[in-house]
């Protein structure tokens, strides 16, 4: 396929991204550069099965065909709703054609393996120095999910997601990339596939010896596969599975990256594995450098304030103000501690309309941020996209108002025992849980002065876990606020319904964290290719 874009040059390291979601890992890798140089990695193939995420992935692939930070002006017309997505693609047909080919909508494990292999070989076009990245779907390993199912042992017979990582090691066995990066939830470490058998140990064993795992799975010897296997490294501790597994001091937690320790404004803890092919066993990778914690206020205060919506009756600003102020009519203010009650009264006295009301898919108002401005902000946008609030029932507005006011006074999100009876949800186990002092997070406020709690796909459900800390806005977070917490640039547009947008954001790897990982991987390739690269000198990489 003919691609005349600036980043089709041969001195970029090819990347194949599987289970790609909306492209968080891809965004970090493709954005990595040294000084003012070009992109150091090129996404040549990304695979995602979900329709909305694939649309987002395709759009970002289209934009990557232009020089870094030089998107076409028509993209901003699209963001503002002045042209359609099809209009944008028709304006640049060659770039669009490349994106349609690079971002492949397919379900790994369903589409035939030989078709996947053909796609990978075509994308690599004979190059053998490349990196495989991706995160197999993680719901099966989720600690929260297992708790809800009241089952600690994975149901590998009926839940096909348990073994989707096999698609990962199958590609390793067949295609032999020098390096891979695999991401998943930390619940992977404690998930069992038998009474005394942990899935993580099996995953590590299979990734270390993918050909053996593939042969065992298919019950046949594969003489056509020559992959030597992989050494698996932590990205936070300077060691590998060679020196760790089988030793008394081995700690699986070394494979967990606590994002808040590395410049990400949320307490997101994920297992991320770095694999380097065993025939490159003299290479020891670096680890990610810790950074100061980034608080929530640094990333969301610069966005336009918005009111929540009303899911019942007329939804306009005057009706909303009346609904929120009716909090005083439910005879509950006297049952709240004095400081919180005073804060609520102050909020209700000062309650006013918002310039941008509930927001919308694009707001013509420039945003600001107190962290990584060059990464987040795009002065060409002239506004904010994906920034629109959800509708809530009036009782939830009361709860949000109370919870945010409580957190402002006590610098903590209230737990169930802190709520007056009148504000308790009418759920079967609420009073039982209240007596146990649990229910800490059914209505969770994200605190301004701390990193946010983990943004997950659950944010698409109702927003109760993600209450905005400003009580006057009385709402849950918007997609754009969640995207900022996940460190997506402001010009990263999420396709699909708002629910689908939330799911995409919650499932993604934070791009800024991915960029830090890309730096580690690039340094590995420097060693592999024995290249000297400085900020002032660019050497061609022969791939």
Confidence at residue 533, expressed as pLDDT on a 0 to 100 scale: 44
| Residues 148-162 pLDDT 10s | 444 454 344 444 544
Placement of tokens 């699986």 in the chain: 252
Whether 351 shows a pLDDT value over 90: the answer reads yes
Over residues 95-124, mean pLDDT: 96
Confidence at residue 536, expressed as pLDDT on a 0 to 100 scale: 41
Whether 445 shows a pLDDT value over 50: the answer reads yes
Q: SS3 string of 178-220?
A: CEEEEEEEHHHHCCEEECCEEHHHHHHHHHHCHHHHHHHHHCC
- Distance separating alpha carbons of residues 540 and 136, to the nearest angstrom: 33
The residue among 438 and 374 whose pLDDT is bigger is 374
- Distance separating alpha carbons of residues 370 and 446, to the nearest angstrom: 18
| Residues 501-532 pLDDT 10s | 999 999 999 999 999 999 999 999 999 876 43
Confidence at residue 198, expressed as pLDDT on a 0 to 100 scale: 77
Alpha carbon distances (Å) from 114 to 111, 119, 134, 171, 215:
9, 9, 20, 11, 16
Q: Work out the angle at residue 417's Cα, subtended by the Cα atoms of residues 414 and 419, and round it to the nearest 5 degrees.
A: 65
Confidence at residue 221, expressed as pLDDT on a 0 to 100 scale: 83
Structure-token pair, residue 113: 């393996």
| Residues 195-222 pLDDT 10s | 567 778 888 889 999 999 888 877 788 8
Name the class of domain 13-294+509-529.
Answer: alpha beta
Whether 262 shows a pLDDT value over 80: the answer reads yes
The CATH 3.40.50.150 domain(s) of the chain lie at 13-294+509-529
Quote the mean pLDDT of the chain: 88
């Amino acid at each position: 396929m003919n691609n005349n874009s600036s980043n089709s040059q041969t001195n970029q390291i090819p990347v194949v991204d599987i289970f790609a979601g909306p492209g968080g890992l891809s965004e970090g890798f493709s954005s990595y550069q040294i000084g003012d140089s070009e992109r150091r990695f090129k996404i040549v193939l990304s695979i995602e099965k979900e329709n909305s995420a694939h649309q987002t992935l395709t759009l970002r692939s289209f934009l990557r065909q232009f020089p870094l930070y030089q998107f076409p002006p028509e993209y901003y017309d699209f963001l503002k709703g002045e042209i359609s997505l099809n209009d944008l693609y028709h304006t640049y047909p060659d770039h669009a054609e490349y994106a349609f080919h690079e971002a492949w909508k397919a379900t790994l494990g369903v589409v035939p393996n030989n078709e996947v292999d053909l796609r990978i070989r075509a994308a690599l076009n004979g190059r053998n120095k490349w990196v495989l990245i991706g995160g197999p779907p993680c719901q099966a390993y989720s600690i929260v999910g297992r708790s809800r199912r009241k089952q600690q042992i994975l149901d590998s017979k009926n839940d096909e997601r348990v073994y989707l990582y096999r698609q990962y090691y199958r590609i390793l066995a067949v295609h032999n990339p020098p390096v891979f990066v695999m991401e998943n939830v930390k619940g992977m470490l404690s998930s069992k596939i038998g009474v005394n058998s942990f899935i993580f140990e099996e995953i590590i064993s299979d990734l270390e010896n993918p050909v053996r795992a593939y042969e065992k799975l298919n019950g046949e010897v594969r003489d056509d596969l020559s992959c030597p296997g992989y050494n698996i490294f932590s990205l936070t501790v300077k060691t590998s599975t060679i020196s760790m597994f089988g030793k008394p001091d081995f700690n699986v937690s070394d494979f967990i990256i606590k994002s808040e320790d590395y410049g990400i404004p949320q307490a997101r803890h994920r297992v991320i594995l770095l694999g380097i092919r065993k025939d490159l066993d003299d290479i020891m990778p670096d680890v990610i450098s810790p950074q100061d914690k980034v608080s929530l206020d640094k990333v969301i205060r610069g966005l336009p304030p918005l009111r929540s919506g009303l899911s019942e009756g007329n939804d306009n600003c005057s009706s909303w103000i009346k609904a929120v102020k009716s909090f005083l009519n439910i005879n509950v203010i006297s049952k709240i501690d004095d400081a919180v009650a005073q804060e609520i009264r102050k909020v209700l006295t000062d309650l006013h309309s918002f310039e941008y009301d509930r927001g919308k898919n694009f707001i013509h108002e420039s945003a600001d941020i107190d962290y990584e401005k060059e990464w987040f902000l795009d002065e060409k946008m002239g506004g904010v996209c994906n920034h629109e609030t959800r509708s809530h029932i009036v009782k939830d507005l009361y709860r949000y108002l109370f919870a945010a006011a409580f957190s402002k006074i006590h610098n903590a999100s209230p737990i169930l025992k802190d709520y007056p009876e009148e504000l308790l949800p009418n759920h079967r186990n609420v009073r039982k849980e209240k007596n146990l002092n649990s229910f800490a997070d059914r209505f969770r406020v994200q605190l301004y002065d701390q990193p946010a709690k983990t943004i997950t796909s659950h944010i698409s459900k109702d927003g109760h876990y993600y209450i905005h800390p400003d009580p006057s806005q009385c709402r849950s977070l918007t997609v754009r606020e969640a995207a900022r917490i996940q460190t997506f640039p402001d010009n990263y547009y999420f396709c699909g319904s708002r629910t689908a947008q939330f799911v995409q954001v919650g499932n993604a790897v934070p791009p800024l964290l991915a960029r830090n990982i890309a730096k580690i991987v690039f340094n590995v390739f420097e060693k592999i290719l024995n290249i000297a690269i400085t900020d002032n000198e660019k050497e061609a990489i022969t791939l």
